[in-house]
């Protein structure tokens, strides 16, 4: 009996230490939105892994409640309560309002991962056709694509031409990096049912894989500006994805090297996004027209990048979505990294997240009304 009691006490002591570590990590994640990634290099990591940290704290709380350790449980609850404003960024509780009489536009953001042109899913041309079918079903007015791919005509891999026909959306503008022979193009593309009267881009002074474009669109004599962005790519290598799988065939030394390399990529991306976000916000805040900002931010709601936009614009998911809202469907547990923001000219009526997985991102789209 004494031995069993000692074992329980030893287990409690170990779990108490682990609980304190988890709580410290949770508190550091609360600081992540305010920490400049260039100054506080490692703080953003706690925001990135916030979902896993929160889960750990939740499991710890459950254990201590079962053990009737009330002081410890109350202490954990207080730490959780302090973070309520941050938890709220991940869990939407709003209900959509379907109101076709007041709807002004519908707009989608979708990282299509090059329409699977390189057959990553090993499904041939099926993935691209599935994406087309989804676009036809949703039939949104404006679509902002990231990791977009198209080929000059003549081509057997139609994208822009096909989507324009599906949506009856003849207007489009993109910015991209061209392949070595100039026939293939990779980047961002905005396709609209309504006239695009002016276009441009925000100079991000960064890698060729990151872009931010804007299109001025007119509907019912109202001109508004749509930003389509893809920022802060981490560009993880295939062997680094193995770190998030159960593959047992890698040497520990090799895993350590890849982990260190991945950590460097993550920290570098945080710093890169800092500059990109400031450039985009400087541009959008000087827009003479109402603003909508869509895209793949490669960062979570508990990040410095998200926080900068969140302080100036409305998040459509929080305004009209429900649930957790995971948008990333890849191997890394990154949660929600695709967003649609808008200024106070608009209100969100609905918010939708694609259920099917045809890319490493799920499409998001919202219906907006004019606020006045």
CATH code for the domain in which residue 290 is found? 3.60.10.10
**DSSP secondary structure code for residue 83 in this structure:** T
pLDDT of residue 243: 43
Q: Which pLDDT band, with edges at 50, 70 and 90, does 266 fall under?
A: confident
Q: Where is average pLDDT lowest: 114-123, 174-183, 266-275, 289-298?
A: 174-183
pLDDT of residue 211: 94
Helix axis angle, 50-66 relative to 2-31, nearest 10°? 150
pLDDT of residue 242: 44
**Dihedral angle of Cα 199, 203, 208, 212, to the nearest 10 degrees:** -50
List CB contacts of 27: < 8 A, sequence separation 6 or more.
79
98 in any annotated domain: no
Q: Which pLDDT band, with edges at 50, 70 and 90, does 108 fall under?
A: very high
- The verdict on 152 and 16 lying in the same domain is no
> Taking 80 as the threshold, does the pLDDT of residue 268 lie above it?
yes
- The verdict on 214 and 274 lying in the same domain is yes
- The verdict on 212 and 353 lying in the same domain is yes
Which of 52, 87, 122 is where one domain is finished?
87
Find the mean pLDDT for residues 290-314.
96
CA 97 to chain CA centroid, nearest Å: 24
> Taking 70 as the threshold, does the pLDDT of residue 145 lie above it?
yes
74 in any annotated domain: yes
CB atoms < 10 A from the CB of 14, how many? 10
The more confident residue out of 182 and 211 is 211
Q: Which pLDDT band, with edges at 50, 70 and 90, does 254 fall under?
A: confident
Query: Angle at CA 179, nearest 5°, toward 143 and 277?
Result: 50
> Taking 60 as the threshold, does the pLDDT of residue 165 lie above it?
yes
Write phi, then psi, for 173 (nearest 5 degrees): -155, 135
**Structure tokens belonging to residue 223:** 């001109």
Task: Name the residue among 334, 341, 111 with its Cα closest to residue 210.
Answer: 111
- The verdict on 301 and 363 lying in the same domain is yes
% of the chain at pLDDT higher than 70: 90
- The verdict on 270 and 210 lying in the same domain is yes
The more confident residue out of 256 and 323 is 323
The answer to whether the pTM exceeds 0.85 is yes
Q: Which residues sit opposite 144 in a β-bridge?
A: 109, 190
- The verdict on 15 and 147 lying in the same domain is no
**Is 47 in contact with 32 (CB distance < 8 Å)?**
yes
69 in any annotated domain: yes
List CB contacts of 60: < 8 A, sequence separation 6 or more.
15, 18, 19, 22, 76
Q: Which pLDDT band, with edges at 50, 70 and 90, does 333 fall under?
A: low
- Asked, as a colleague might, if the bond just before 154 is cis with ω within 30 of 0, I would say yes
Find the mean pLDDT for residues 227-247.
63
pLDDT of residue 244: 43
31 in any annotated domain: yes
pLDDT of residue 240: 38
15 in any annotated domain: yes
Q: How many domains does the chain have?
A: 2
- The verdict on 212 and 297 lying in the same domain is yes
> Taking 60 as the threshold, does the pLDDT of residue 346 lie above it?
yes
Which residue range is the domain that position 63 belongs to? 2-87
**Mean pLDDT over the full length of the chain:** 89
pLDDT of residue 236: 55
Q: What's the CA gap between 306 and 321, in Å, rounded?
A: 17
The more confident residue out of 127 and 242 is 127
The residue whose two tokens read 């009489």 is: 101
Q: Where is average pLDDT lowest: 87-91, 130-134, 169-173?
A: 87-91
- The verdict on 266 and 362 lying in the same domain is yes
Find the mean pLDDT for residues 97-118.
92
95 in any annotated domain: no
Find the mean pLDDT for residues 146-175.
94
Q: Where is average pLDDT lowest: 104-113, 134-143, 153-162, 233-242?
A: 233-242
- The verdict on 252 and 153 lying in the same domain is yes
Positive or negative CA dihedral for 263, 360, 170, 106?
negative
57 in any annotated domain: yes
pLDDT of residue 293: 98
- The verdict on 59 and 148 lying in the same domain is no
The more confident residue out of 282 and 258 is 282
- The verdict on 202 and 279 lying in the same domain is yes
**Structure tokens belonging to residue 138:** 């949703």
pLDDT of residue 212: 96
- The verdict on 44 and 153 lying in the same domain is no
96 in any annotated domain: no
pLDDT of residue 180: 60
The more confident residue out of 8 and 187 is 187
The more confident residue out of 153 and 302 is 302
Find the mean pLDDT for residues 90-102.
83
pLDDT of residue 34: 95
Element (H, E) at 189: strand 184-192
Q: What's the CA gap between 33 and 78, in Å, rounded?
A: 20
């Amino acid at each position: 009996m004494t031995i069993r009691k000692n074992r329980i006490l030893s287990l409690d002591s170990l779990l108490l230490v682990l609980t304190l570590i988890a709580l410290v990590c949770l508190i550091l994640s609360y600081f992540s939105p305010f920490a400049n990634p260039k100054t506080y290099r490692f703080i953003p990591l706690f925001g990135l892994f916030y979902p896993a940290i929160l889960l750990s704290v939740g499991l710890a709380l459950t254990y201590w409640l079962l053990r009737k350790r009330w002081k410890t449980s109350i202490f954990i609850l207080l730490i959780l309560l302090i973070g309520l404003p941050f938890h709220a960024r991940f869990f939407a509780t709003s209900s959509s309002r379907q109101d076709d009489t007041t709807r002004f536009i519908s707009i989608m953001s979708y990282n299509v991962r090059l329409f699977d042109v390189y057959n990553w899913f090993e499904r041939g041309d099926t993935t691209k056709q599935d994406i087309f079918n989804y676009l036809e079903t949703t039939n949104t007015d404006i679509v902002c694509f990231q990791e977009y791919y198209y080929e000059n005509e003549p081509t057997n891999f139609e994208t822009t031409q096909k989507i324009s026909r599906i949506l009856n959306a003849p207007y489009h503008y993109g910015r991209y990096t061209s392949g070595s022979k100039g026939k293939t193009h990779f980047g961002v593309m905005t396709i609209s049912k309504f006239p695009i009267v002016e276009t441009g881009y925000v100079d991000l002074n960064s890698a060729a894989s990151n872009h931010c474009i804007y299109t001025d669109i007119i509907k019912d004599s109202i001109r508004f500006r749509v930003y389509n962005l893809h920022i802060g790519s981490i560009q993880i290598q295939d062997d680094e994805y193995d770190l998030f799988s159960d593959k047992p065939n890698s040497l520990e030394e090799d895993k350590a090297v890849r982990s260190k390399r991945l950590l460097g990529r993550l920290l570098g991306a945080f710093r890169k996004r800092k500059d990109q976000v400031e450039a985009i916000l400087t541009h959008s805040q000087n827009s003479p027209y109402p603003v909508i900002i869509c895209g793949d931010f490669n960062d979570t709601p508990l990040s410095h990048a998200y926080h900068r936009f969140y302080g100036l614009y409305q998040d459509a998911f929080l305004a009209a979505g429900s649930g957790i809202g995971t948008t990333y469907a890849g191997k890394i547990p990154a949660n929600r990294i695709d967003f649609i923001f808008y200024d106070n000219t608009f209100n969100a009526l609905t918010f939708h997240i694609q259920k099917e997985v045809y890319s490493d991102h799920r499409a998001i789209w919202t219906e907006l009304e004019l606020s006045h």
